[in-house]
Amino acid sequence: MTQSLATPFQARLHTRVGQLDAAYRASMEAATAHLRRSGMPTRAKAEGDRAPDFALEDRSGERVSLSGLLARGPVVLSFFRGEWCSFCRLEMDALLEARAEIVGRGASLVMVSPQGPTEALLDRSGGLDGLTVLKDPMNGVGLQYGLIFRMPEVLRQALLAVGVDLSHIYGTDAWLLPIPATYVVDPGGLITLAHTDPDFTHRLDPALILDRLDALTRSPAAAHRQ
């Protein structure tokens, strides 16, 4: 999906890309090219697919299901690598900024990551209406959505060189993680907007999410439900 740098969020992403170390950026680009050649992105759930149902525990230990949330309205579902990723943090913050507008359109916001929520995220997101933060500890839900890959060695070594050891962060030596993905799922479980990209610097702008939620409320099916 082509996006303009006109929005503040896209400008922040663009600025962060320019701050990357040249060697790390080269490793990232090589890893992204490897994933594209593998065909992995084509296996991810896409617009028009049914969203697989799942249930994960929230921060309080309560099991939250996608179907349960969809019974209340549309769901904005975002998969993140974790807060160790600066681009994930930028997207998380952008979604938190848009949360009130998402909720105002009758939707829920769900963030899923193999990394449990940190104190910093809990401080920013705790108690916010319409927001659910879930841990996918074994990447089971990410696998359902076709998002999980094993990090190529070139990028693994680049991360270790800058002090990021995912075996410590995730508690496993598998070095499996999701490509960043954001979906808008309608109450019937249909994915009406999908953004998946092995290039983790590319993220879906919340403005496009709000546009799709507006389109859902204008659809004949939505009018019939009301």
In tens, the pLDDT along 108-124 reads 999 999 987 666 666 66
Q: Is the pLDDT reported for residue 207 higher than 60?
A: yes
Determine the Cα–Cα distance for residues 184 and 164; give it in Å rounded to an integer.
31
Q: Please check whether residue 74 is in contact with residue 186, taking contact to mean a CB–CB distance below 8 angstroms.
A: yes
Q: pTM, whole model, 2 decimals?
A: 0.89
Q: pLDDT per residue over 12-38, tens digit each? A: 999 999 999 888 888 889 888 988 988
Q: Is the pLDDT reported for residue 158 higher than 90?
A: no
So what's the pLDDT on residue 58? 87
Query: Torsion angle, CA of 153/195/108/86, rounded to 10 degrees?
Result: 40
* Per-domain residue ranges of the chain: 8-218
Give the pLDDT band of residue 59 (cuts 50, 70, 90): confident
CA 168, 172, 175, 180 torsion-angle sign? negative
Determine the Cα–Cα distance for residues 42 and 146; give it in Å rounded to an integer.
9
Closest CA relative to residue 208, chosen from 44, 132, 131, 98: 98
Superfamily of domain 8-218: Glutaredoxin (3.40.30.10)
Q: Is the pLDDT reported for residue 133 higher than 70?
A: yes
Task: Count Cβ atoms below 10 Å from residue 56 Cβ, excluding itself.
Answer: 19
Q: Is the pLDDT reported for residue 221 higher than 60?
A: no
Q: Is the pLDDT reported for residue 212 higher than 50?
A: yes
Strand locations in 136-188, DSSP E? 148-150, 176-178, 181-185
Q: Give helix then strand counts, H and E, for the chain.
A: 10, 9
Q: Please check whether residue 107 is in contact with residue 136, taking contact to mean a CB–CB distance below 8 angstroms.
A: no
